[in-house]
Structure 1
Amino acid sequence: MFYATSAGVLALATAQFFTGVSANLKTCTNNNTLSCHSSSKAPTCCYNYPGGALLQTQFWDTDPSTGPSDSWTIHGLWPDNCDGTYESSCDSSRAYTNITEILKEQGRTSLLSYMDQYWVDIDGDNESFWAHEWGKHGTCINTIDPSCYTNYSAQEEVGDFFQKVVDLFKSLDTYKALSAAGITPSSSKTYTLSAIEAALSKVHDGSQAYLGCDNGSLNQVWYFFNVRGNAIDGQYDASAPLTKSSCPSSGIKYAPKSN
């Protein structure tokens, strides 16, 4: 399956946490149904379906490198059908290509500045990258459909989506988690899959993350979640990956960024 911060004590993530801004989404009261765990299989504004698993995905680009040398970068937030399959490009009428303009109109300049540093395209075209992630994955998250909003404003869900992805990314500092376990970028050292998985499980409440490798070099991490409520202000529960990591069991390279 293919889906195109300083020294100190590493804070561990909890199994259940809330992140993001308070959106104008319809209230989900007394909603205890965890996505991917209902037999009714009916989407509502409080139940993510069919994309019930949500993946916060990250890149480690080294040649050319992207983002700071001491941080991974954002890939996106992807809905998965709870079985390793996924839908894509679900609403062409909302496949906006002017993400920067939308965020500026919503007054989200701080968010935009952060994205320009940590959500970066390997070819330097951030705008197209953001539009791709929104159009392919964001439009498939049913709980942020415009019909799920109270007093909906045009493109409101776009800003909420990008803010949510950034907030999740900030709570999952892959670089620090690996460094705390002695796993640092090196042109000569190699690491085992089990050691990397163990290190990242500490920021994912004991759940493993999917690890992606290219020619034996670590370059992707996907953190899987199930959600109670909507995707913006719902409760995210860490879950096991739905697909097997593509890295070898040993000899994994973690190359330094070229800058």
Structure 2
Amino acid sequence: MSSTLIALSTLLGLAAASIKSCPANAPISCQTSGTIQNTCCTEVQGQILQTQFWDSSPATGPANSFTIHGLWPDNCDGTYEATCDSSRAYTDIDCILQNKGHGDILSYMETYWKDYQGDDESFWEHEWSKHGTCYSTLNPSCYTNYQPEDELVDFLNTTITLFKKLPTYDWLASAGITPSSSKTYTNAQITNALKSKFGATPILSCTSGKLNQVEYVFNVRGSVANGQFIAVNPTGTKGNCPTSGIKWLPKDLSTTPEANEGSCS
């Protein structure tokens, strides 16, 4: 199939409304040479990885779905910058979302963006501070009428919006690949099933031969908040799953940790 293109501008209606507009012909990330002139409209770290977990024990999330790991920028070659702005290492993300009227985002995250130890809030804070603060197109200077944490809301919303468009469990199940305590699969079986839906090669990661992570790679035209995400093959980043004998274990929901719940004033 042709490469997947997801236009977030038609899906998002949150803080992205105050993001500065970009020209329709803005350069696509990772496809420019030399210095990027408008870092609000072309990502400096331009290869974007939507990363999903499969935790079987301790189990996280629903039995029939992967969960969100994060949305990672890299330098188009597998290297990346991290923790780029400690002054925006926001905490109490659950309270920020509630106070800004985005309880719907928080509710989705509480189901699909899970920490294997039950500390979802710390996990979200880590993903934002390590990766989210490094997006050039989400810099506060890229907004008009900027309000604190607008870019955090956009980061979280983009991450879950892409996740909803990448139903890994369903794509594998449609190819006859389902979790099993005894059956194994080849790397090619899993890769081809996902590639046929996504339009580009995903990155598969395993622990002791067990599938536990899938990464989908994009370049983006415009802002991460409301741009066009174009499926591409990864450059510089490789998975570590074996060529055969890959196990995809069912989730043991009896091992799911109880989430730590905070309170907002």
The TM-score, its normalising length taken from structure 1, stands at: 0.92
CA offsets per residue over residues 50-79 of structure 1, 9 Å max, x none?
x10010000000110000000000000000
CA contact (8 A) 2:67 2:112 kept: yes
Structure 2 counterpart SS, 1:17: strand
Structure 2 counterpart SS, 1:208: coil
Structure 2 counterpart SS, 1:169: helix
Q: Residue 6 of structure 2 is aligned with which of 5, 14, 17?
A: 17
Structure 1 counterpart SS, 2:197: coil
Q: Residue 138 of structure 1 is aligned with which of 132, 137, 141?
A: 132
Task: Identify if the C-alpha distance between structure 1 residues 165 and 226 changes in structure 2 by more than 3 Å, giving closer, same or farther.
Answer: same
1:172 and 2:161 are equivalent in the alignment: no
CA contact (8 A) 1:13 1:203 kept: no
1:253 equivalent in structure 2: 247
- Superposed, which structure 2 residues align to 1:21-170 within 5 Å? 21-22=12-13, 23=16, 24-42=18-36, 44-49=39-44, 51-170=45-164
> What is the CA-CA distance between 1:95 and the residue it aligns to?
0.4
Q: Give 1:143's aligned amino acid.
A: T
Structure 1 counterpart SS, 2:211: strand
Q: Give 2:112's aligned amino acid.
A: Y
Structure 2 counterpart SS, 1:211: strand
1:212 and 2:205 are equivalent in the alignment: yes
2:228 equivalent in structure 1: 235
User: How many angstroms apart in 1 are the aligned matches of 2:179 and 2:191?
Assistant: 16
1:194 and 2:185 are equivalent in the alignment: no
User: How many angstroms apart in 2 are the aligned matches of 1:14 and 1:234?
Assistant: 16
Q: Give 2:6's aligned amino acid.
A: F
Between the two proteins, what is the percent identity of the paired residues? 53
Q: Give 2:5's aligned amino acid.
A: Q
Q: Structure 2: give runs of 5+ residues left out of the alignment.
A: 254-265
> What is the CA-CA distance between 1:14 and the residue it aligns to?
5.6
User: How many angstroms apart in 1 are the aligned matches of 2:147 and 2:34?
Assistant: 31
Q: Give 2:226's aligned amino acid.
A: D
Task: Identify if the C-alpha distance between structure 1 residues 39 and 14 changes in structure 2 by more than 3 Å, giving closer, same or farther.
Answer: closer
CA contact (8 A) 1:13 1:202 kept: no
CA RMSD of aligned residues (A): 1.3
User: How many angstroms apart in 2 are the aligned matches of 1:76 and 1:156?
Assistant: 18
Q: Give 2:7's aligned amino acid.
A: F
